[in-house]
Amino acid sequence: MPSLAIDTPVGRLTLVERDGALARVGWMLAAEGAETPLLAEAARQIAAYFARDLRDFDLPLAPAPTPEAAAARAAMLAIPYGRTATYGECAAAIGSNARAFGQACGANALPIIVPCHRVLPATGFGHYSGGEGARTKGWLLAHEGAALI
C-alpha cells in the first residue's frame, strides 16, 4: 500500500492509502510504497492543521470496519475544532455506551484526522492511544485551544 512518513510537532506520522482513500495515520509505522497525490494532499492538510491554518480535513477516508465504528467516527468528526465532548455524550448520540465508545476511540485508525483526542471522560483527562499517550492528547487539545470539560 502506498504510504508516506511526515514529521509533525507530535512525532513522525505515517499516512497509508488504500483504494484511493486514507486508511491509516499512525506513529511508528513503517512507510513503504510510493507517495501518491492523495498522500501528498493529506500531508499538506496535516501541515496546515499544525500551522493553525486548517480546522477541518477534507480527505477521502477508508470506510470504517463496522457500522458501529462508522457511527463512532461520525460522532468524533462532529466535535468541532477547539471543543471537547465526553465519552458518554458521544455514546448517547449514537445509541451506545461510554465504554464501547472509548474502545472505538482507542481503535481509531485515523487519529488527528478523526479527532478522538477531543473525547474525554466525564471526570479527568483520560488516555490516548497515539504518540506519547496523554502527553500527545494534551498537546493536541492545547494546540486547538480546547477547554477541558
Burial class, 54, CB count within 10 angstroms (exposed 0-12 / middle 13-18 / buried 19+): middle
Asked whether 146 and 83 are in contact (CB, 8 A), the reply is: yes
- Catalytic entry in 4, 104, 110, 116: 116
Handedness of CA 67, 70, 72, 78 (dihedral sign): negative
Asked whether 39 and 78 are in contact (CB, 8 A), the reply is: no
Has 90 been annotated as catalytic?
Answer: no
Handedness of CA 81, 82, 83, 86 (dihedral sign): positive
The catalytic residue positions are 116
